[in-house]
Amino acid sequence: MGALLSQLDKAYYLWRRNNWMLNPKSYFNGYKRAGIKGPIFLLGNQGDGLTLLSRILRRNPGVVSVTGNSAYWAGADEMANVYEPVLGRELSGIRIKAPRHEKLTPPRSWSYACNDLIGEYRCTERDAGDDIALRLRHAIGLAISRYGKNIKTARFVDKSQVYTVKMSFINKLLEDCNPYFILVTRNPYASIYRAATGKAGDMKRYAEYMSLDERMRICMEHWLNSAGCVEEDRRKVPDFMSVSFEELLKSPQTVVKRICDFTGLEYSDDMIPQPHHKLPFGMKYRERWYPLWTNVNEQYLNEIPDEYIEMIYEQCGELAEMHGYSNPKMRVI
């Protein structure tokens, strides 16, 4: 893609992301009565496969997101960021309305759930209130009203990662809408090291004044607290499932069929990345589609020093094993 076309592509992405702000009705609760049936929330950490799964689901003609429907299936898809001005801090807080911290500056992707900040972001069913529910329903209704091909049956899909520490909260706010929650996991020995070494945007910035040891500590805390919140909340919601990024890459049809069976979406092979698919204009991370690479963890597992493996194992090993991820040093070769 040439320089000019690349700039136009970026500009269109931002236009699709932000054009809702130009409509005065977007700031009032006029969309709260839109039919919200079975919204789907993808949970997990940045870089752990949520973008790929979100795009797959958004190719379904019955699905909408905050920036489009199946005609534009690769735009921004995090309500907590896109609709932050109308959602309030309880439902956003990653960028504009982020809690202040001397060192851990926003925007945040791998630090909002660290020990210093988790108390600012964690919400449970006990924190739910009618005013917050009204804001959330308005935002989802806004997306359905704008992009639903049939607003009575449209299914809303979102991947606001910060909702990973708010699952029972979101469920309570939407309890009569039958929300679905899907956790996407990735090998934490690869994922944590990947984030700490700069693939996470906040960690890349923090590297200017934090050592790698400090960044590893923050990322481990973030992973552990996020996983702990999910483990606590999963027993409080009726519709929860977990899939692994690795399995999605290895057997996409099988995993997506399971998800469709779980959520009631109609499955189509065309949802799965194909070589003939034309990528939409106005799209970030164009490489996150076809082909699917099954060796995404290999680089990080080969590079991570033994002392960091031990640190992750000591801090996160128990929860990691619950998700099927063992200490890579203990594998039989």
Query: To which residue do tokens 């998800």 refer?
Result: 259
Q: What are phi and psi of 181, to 5 degrees?
A: -125, 130
> What is the rounded average pLDDT of the residues 234-241?
98
What integer pLDDT is reported at residue 333 of this predicted model? Answer: 41
**In 3D, which of 233, 232, 257, 264 has the Cα closest to residue 243?**
257
In the chain, what are the domains? Answer: 28-272+291-326 (3.40.50.300)
Whole-number pLDDT of residue 332? 44
Torsion (CA) 203, 206, 212, 218 in degrees, nearest 10: -60
Residue 2: pLDDT over 80: no
pLDDT of residue 143: 95
Annotate 97-136 with b (16+ C-beta within 10 A) or e (fewer). bbeeeeebebebbbbbbbebbbeebbbbbeebeeebbebb
How high is the mean pLDDT of the chain? Answer: 94
Residue of higher predicted confidence among 317 and 284: 317
Q: Which residue has the tokens 């807080």?
A: 93
pLDDT tops 80 at residue 312: yes
What lies within 8 Å, CB to CB, of 102 at 6+ separation is none
How many angstroms separate the Cα of 78 from the Cα of each of 26, 83, 277, 305, 333? 17, 8, 23, 33, 40
Q: Which of 84-88, 232-236, 303-307, 311-315 has the lowest mean pLDDT?
A: 84-88
Checking if the pLDDT of 29 tops 70, the result is: no
pLDDT tens column, 289-310: 999 999 999 999 999 999 999 9
Please write the tens of the pLDDT for every residue from 74-128: 999 999 999 999 998 999 987 888 999 999 999 999 999 999 999 999 999 999 9
For residue 33, the model assigns a pLDDT of 58
List, for residues 256-291, the tens digit of each pLDDT value. 999 999 999 999 999 999 999 999 888 888 888 999
pLDDT tens digits for range 81-92 = 999 999 989 999
Contact 273, 252 (CB under 8 A): yes
